[in-house]
A and B are shown apart, each in its own frame.
Chain A
Amino acid sequence: MRHNYPKATLFTLVTVCLLSLLLALKVGSVAVSWSDLWQIISGRENEWRELVMQLRLPRALAALLTGAMLAMAGCLMQVLLRNPLADPYIMGVSGGAAFFALSAMLLGLSAAFIPAAAFAGALVSILLVFAVSRGSGPWSSTRMLLSGVVLAAGWGALISLILALGPDNSLRGMLFWLMGDLSNARIPLAVWIAFPILLLLLMLRSRSLNILALGEVTAAALGENTRHLGWFIYLLASLLTAMAVSIAGSIGFVGLIIPHAMRLLISNDHRLLLPASALAGGSFLILADTMARTIAAPLQLPVGVITALTGVPLFLYLLHRARIHS
């Protein structure tokens, strides 16, 4: 688009994101002063250096990347299904991840294996949708959506089964995982490499996303191979979701609310919407996680509870505001 506000918008969002990051480094069980924080960031010795650099920074970065990935995956699913209320979990990716992660917990595997199990479960779910909804004849996202939704329901039943069978002492861990929890979250190197690649691939096709949002026939008439584009979006959205879920469990609402809020506040043009959603999703999850570990300190809440409790009223407010302005 030929206007100047994209740069200003993105600059504002980058600033918000950096401020959120600083806040996450500063507050917690020990409040680090701004001058101490500055010393630590500029690489000088400080008594809180280890706390900030070894504990708070990795956790905040995990929140940043997880939030960004969920928000982007939400944008993509909304275009794919042409429904502004679709979320990254609608096709069962998180269900598959949850079933595998909980099974690993049930089998008593060490915590280090849980992310790998979750990622494997997400991949199984992605491949199942792929295999079930492939067919000849005209491409239709409806068949894919139905396969995904039914699969998600199936995972839901299996998860309930595990929760019913699981020993009491592992239930708490399972519930935290299901609600989404960042307390032990770390970003694996593979995700640091994969994320920028996926982002670049998506930015290359972002105008195609605008076209697909107009409907499959329109997109085809305007020069898109909608079958390829549909699978491309599904795979990228699922990979982003799988990475996010394996890092932090199934954190709700970020992938639904952030893209929708950005559509209301900024634009439906995906060239702007995708980076804006990534930045806003990252900032939102950093702030939510900071709240989760401070609001009831020394108790730590699962961040998924905070995203839901803050996200719902925020979303309703934005919707209300949008109706007044239009």
Chain B
Amino acid sequence: MSNTCLLRTRGLGLTIPGRVLLDDFNWQIQAGECWALLGRNGSGKSTLLHTLAGIRPAQTGAIELPHEGNLQSVTKLPRRTIARQMALLQQHTAYPFDATVEQMALAGRHPHLGAWQQESAADFAIVGQALDDMDLSGLEKRNVSSLSGGEARRLAFATMLVQQAPLLLLDEPSNHLDVGHQIQIMRKLRELIEPDNNKKNNSAALIAIHDLNLAARFCSHVLMLFGDGRYLAGPLDEILSSKQLSELYDYPIEQLLWDQGRCFLPG
């Protein structure tokens, strides 16, 4: 099965005042791939995610999305069209106004609804399913400001699921989550990306993450940002090594082998 490209960058450059974060970045992500985005603090992971999502303008180069059979520049597409193809889970979510958990998750349906359209029973069913997947059933009427850090994180994840976009950009999704829920959201992502045999896989994810063991266990590809313009991208098995990681983080990292694979520990 030939996989479809969900996003491609050509000669993308990211700079912040006084520093080049990423230079001449040529990369693409295809359906069925799960990318771990690794790098030190301030190496440009969030900046890259926001730029790919078209929220932060790219200084140089182009970001292209498939649209009507061709790849088209993200700057030429309406935001609504982009939101139906790509969802962004931000690192932090703040709620300046009161809202219920259900109302918040329903926001994910926004790009699918017309101006006068009300949420239908189908939309509520999608929200119900996503909340259930994230163990939030029963909290539908709770005020979002009363949620714990982990619950708020799972709600943000559920809202992203509700958006039903094929390409998922996630900024540290496992923050604030207990171990069980960390595994649960990574499993959910794998399930979306690689559904049961007969279904066509049409999703992909790019996940900024600091937990190397979650990345090693659940991701298929790795994108490393060195924060000085250089990057390294490729299949996880080829790239993820203690030598490469030690260079990336500028800190010694040891690899341990055990019967279920490898794990990485800071030295």
A residues engaging B (CB < 8 A)?
Answer: 1-2, 78, 82-84, 137-138, 204-205, 207-208, 210-211, 213-215, 217-218, 220-225, 263, 268-269, 326
Contacts and interface: CB of A to CB of B under 8 A. Distances in A.
Given A210-B107, A222-B111, A83 B55 contact: no
Nearest to B94: A215
Given A204-B116, A205-B115, A213-B97, A220 B55 contact: yes
A223 B115 contact: no
A312 to B, nearest CB: 22
B92 to A, nearest CB: 9
Contact of B50 (A82, A204, A217): A217
Given A223-B82, A223-B111, 6 more contacts: A84-B97, A217-B90, A221-B55, A222-B163, A268-B97, A268-B103
Given A213-B97, A217-B50, A222 B103 contact: no
Contacts of A204: 115-116
8 contacts: A1-B119, A2-B119, A84-B96, A137-B57, A215-B93, A217-B55, A222-B110, A223-B81
Contact of A221 (B57, B87, B94, B98): B87
Contacts of B80: 223-224
A2 B78 CA distance: 29
B107 A222 contact: yes
Contacts of B79: 220, 223-225
Contacts of A263: 97-98
A2 B125 CA distance: 12
Given A83-B96, A223-B80, A224-B79, A218 B113 contact: no
A204 B113 CA distance: 12
B265 interface: no
Nearest to B110: A222
A122 to B, nearest CB: 27
Nearest to B50: A217
A221 B87 CA distance: 6
Given A218-B90, A221-B87, A211 B119 contact: no
A180 B233 CA distance: 65
B99 interface: yes
A326 B143 contact: yes
A263 B99 CA distance: 10
- 6 closest Cβ pairs, A-B complex: A223-B83, A223-B111, A223-B80, A221-B88, A82-B96, A220-B55
Contacts of B88: 217, 221
A214 B107 CA distance: 9
Nearest to A228: B79
Contacts of A78: 97
Contacts of A208: 110
Contact of B103 (A1, A217, A223): A1
B176 interface: no
Specify which of B84, B87, B98, B108 lies most central, judged by the most chain A CB atoms within 10 Å of its CB: B98
B131 interface: no
A215 B50 CA distance: 14
Contacts of A210: 103, 107
Interface string B113-134: 1011011010010000000000
A1 B127 CA distance: 13
B243 interface: no
Nearest to B56: A138
B96 A223 contact: no
B95 interface: yes
B110 A2 contact: no
